[in-house]
Structure 1
Amino acid sequence: MKRLIFTLAMVLIAGLSWAQVASNNPKPVQKGQLQIAAFGGLSMPQGNYKGIPGRAKNGYVGGLAVDQYFKGNKWGIGVDGRFLNHDIRKFDSVFFDNGYIATDYINHPSFQHIAVSIGPTYKSDFGKIELEAFLRGGVMFQGFPQYKQSVFINQAVGPPVSMFDSYYTNNPKRITKAWMGLGGLRMSYKINRNWGVFVQGDYLRSFGKSFGSDSSEFHLTGYNLKKSLTPADVFTVKGDRITNLNDYFEEKPVVQKTYVQAVNVAVGVKFTFGKSKVVVAKPKDIMSPVVQAQPKDILVVVKDKQTGQALSGVTVTISRNGGDNVSISNSNGEAERLVAAERGQYQVTAVKNGIAAAPVLISEAEFEKSGKVIYKEIFHDDPRFTLIGETVSASDNVKLPGISTVLTNTTSNSNMSQISDTEAKFVYQLEQQSTYTIVANQAGKFSQTEEVTTKGLNRSKTLYVSLKLGINNLNAGTVIVLKNIYYDFDKSNIRSDAARILDNVLNVMIQNPTLNIELSSHTDSRGKDGYNMQLSQKRAEAAVNYLVGKGIARTRLEAKGYGETKLLNNCENGVACSEEAHQVNRRTEIKVLKY
């Protein structure tokens, strides 16, 4: 990306300069103008700054640019001042048998930079359109995040104790300086002779290891893991040290550094002082005109072959002579329109979920037909159903992005995992005639074990299956009814379908080692009160014994049978109610006692 932007800038400067010399009707020389531009947009980290050790996420950029053009309004000198913010990708906590690994963010977990630079600018205008290429050099005032990842060991009395820092920043200074360079392109549309709007793209990076006495790079030190930690692993502690630390971590730390680099895309508004004169050059005389086929736009729409529905999220490639135009189809199934495509033969391909559609060809003859757009449909044939889910708060239905989910095929017992995106969406592909369960899998959170089935669905009529996954916070006092736990009549043993639900509770207990719960069972009002109380107690104890048998300490669990003492409706003794109304009262609950 950075090479592309620099190359385009140089080509633009060279090409536009040549065009001015070669023009039959050169524009009159104008007085140099001063312009001020304000911009803001998306900043995308690159290289090790985005990966390891930087871990910087997409952020934002905003700033001002002032350009003073010389006589003729082609060449000028410009100053750029901008602010960049990139949050870092945070670490998940890792739990083992007698402790956990957690990260302490000492300051705000983000990179924050102020860059000031100066350099040449070249501009050319085409009626109301202006193109500018700019190169800058200057100083960047960098703000680095500080954090450390530590191994905490549980104590018999008192809170866990940090005994080893496994991953930490060690910048000589948190606020430091660096030399920086900047290059990019700006395309403006003139609203009137003073005001204009524009889009611009540029590449920025810092240079050098130091600036005076300041270190210019971001420093990180870490001990590599020899093997992944599991909930069954145990660190042996003797006195104030861990004796088997080298079984899990390398003996020597690895020091990593990175400079700052980012591709920025922004929109803005600019004001040009004084009067600007738009001059349209007269075309050259053409002695022997050549009639050629007019270019046409190519518009491709992707559809599901079995239902005819428009498909979003499909990678569409329009190819000609080795050149590819690649885009992702939108919610209407439309790929990015190929504007003013020259006459020729094109091939259209589409891929989604690893499955390719049959290619579609565009011939030269289609450029001879009337109309300005060549419209093509391409059909994708994936026999699976698409589950589109959404992670929301169970209490108020507010979207919750960044939640880890696990989908399990109940037949093959195979698992897939996915984290909901910024819109709280997650997407899975489901086989036909299959049943699945899906749960949230994140520390501090709990969701029901939801069941999704494609049995009875007709793929030729149905493509999408939708689901909202309700998420609860594990706050003390929270009561959650466990869905889909059933017992045989007059029995308390744990059935296989109930075991899948309790396995979700098991995972939550493992992920949250400080969580204590009450697991309770409730009956409806039918039958004798004393018998119902005794049966519900047995069922609650059976559920607790199941979790204890899977390794959860009994001290973290309480079994409580409430019989028919906590009915959720008015279906009391002697009241005639439907089976559905009685079913509401027959339930299993968990209550958070301590977290």
Structure 2
Amino acid sequence: MKALKNIFSLLVAIAFNYQANAQSKVVNTVADQKSYWQISARGGYDFPLFQEDFQYIDYKGGLMGGISVNHYWKWIGIQADFDYIQNKPVTNIGDSTSYYTTGPNGLTNYPLDVVTQRTTLTRMFAGVGPSFKLQSKNNKLTAELALLGGMALINGGEILVEGKNSTLTPQNVPLTYHSGFDNEKALTGKAQARFNYFFTNSLGINVGAYYMNHFGVNESQKNQLLIDNGYLANNTNGGLYYGAMGTIQNPDINEGNPIFSNFKTESISRVYDGQGTNQREKIKLSSVGVFAGLTYRIMPKKQKPIVETKTVVTTPIVQRYNLQITAKDKYTKEVLPNTDVALKNSKGEVLKTGKTDAFGAVSFKDILADDYSIAGILNTVALDSASAKTGDFKNGETLRKEILYTDRNFIVTGKVFMCNTSTFLTGTNVILENNDKAFRKSTLSDSEGNFKFQMPEAGVYKLYSKKDNYFSQIEEITASNYNRDKSLFVKLEICAEETDCGKAINLKNILFDLDKFVIREDAKKELNKLVRFMQDNSLVKVELGSHTDSRGSAKYNLTLSQKRANASVAYIISQGIEKSRIAGKGYGESKLLNECADGVDCEEAQHQLNRRTEFKVICPK
């Protein structure tokens, strides 16, 4: 695979070098502008990389042939391949050796002539997948890469190696054997790099290389060579996959003629004993190959030019260029999406406008070489402008310029959601304020709940939303917790809960000291959220309810909860809410949220759930 990558890298380098040296006067042909078909035939040599445990058998390279059909749209396309590959099984046992230990008249180390019988291993592959190309300006040179998947049919590769001596009985001694493969179908992947050179607009030559991998190919259960040579009965269903240099106990083997019984080295075998022990293996077959061939490109028909019979008018070719602008933050170097960009001519007239993408870039295409100024605005703040001069534009190159955001304010951005859901709230008034600095900004969330503010580098700010009949959470932002030189954006989410009349909404963190009903400082922050809700909804009337757990007597808990409710109401009235708009009610332990009633043993967390302060909008009569 590494060799294939190196080959493709070389082809790409050659293609780019050829393109760079192409004469500027050559114009692009139709192949650059429209899709086209391509057919390639090839022949070459395949080098197997089989991963198997055979000690005395190997598979050698062989011839291959194939055809490819491509359809391209610009630089990307689809390719279909068919390949036919042959490999030959061989043995590494020498032509003459001494394996037989006992011969006539007591002779030992009797020499045997090694004889090999085999069937050619054939592989047929059909697959399809994406293809990619690089192409020179004059279209004569292309480098292609294809990644294909498909099926392969694998057959043959059976090999039997025997030692023979005419004076011995029996004359044939089996040395090693593999059953090969019997029309096995395997999922297959192929990566191919190809280089084409076209002599004409259509006809060319190709050279290339490939890597092919078959995923798990079962060994054959047929033993035809063993049957043909009398080692197995004709009615044998198969059971020997691989064996070498030893005795194999197999009920399918003819009695009186045991295979692999006369050798000095250790036995190696894979068999099926007919009783459930099956040593058949999936062999990983892969190979690399090189090839050369012909390529034919089927070009689209050119439109015939319209010829005027009276007057021939020629229009001079005007060179046009592309300009790409990137918006960045000066201090953090962050790219800035959704920045409005305008391209102006030397008179200050706006010629083109655009908005930067997720990478902070926007492109203006097909423009003339001229003197331009480039302006940008992000969230009503102007970026430092840039300029493009006539001499900056180069043939065949995109001119790139940057505009910088230099404002020291942070940008607070985020979404408004309905609490405990993924539903965003549109058209919601989102407010960022700092009462100490008399700072207040507001904006409406867009169709996807998004909002955006600028926030100074110093101070503590509150972020909340305002929408009729919605109770908003309040986020507190301390600007000094952020470093403007490292971050421009402060990203937050806020949620609001719908206040249907009669629906109880829990006010979190309204805590009282044991047996006390004095409002603590930490409870005022949460009560202030209710104050703001009532200020924003001036016609709403609210009941504020206080609840206790079941510990203590019911009478005591009812009295304590009423005092706490009254204290909470008094604080809210002190913040400017009319007394007629809010009422306090103590429920004691009468509305427990769980089973922790009198006499029930509960943990502190369960009791805490019952100790709560809630409010609900009073339904109109």
The bucket for the TM-score relative to the shorter chain is: 0.3 to 0.5
Taking structure 2 as the reference length, what is the TM-score of the superposition?
Answer: 0.43
Taking structure 1 as the reference length, what is the TM-score of the superposition?
Answer: 0.45
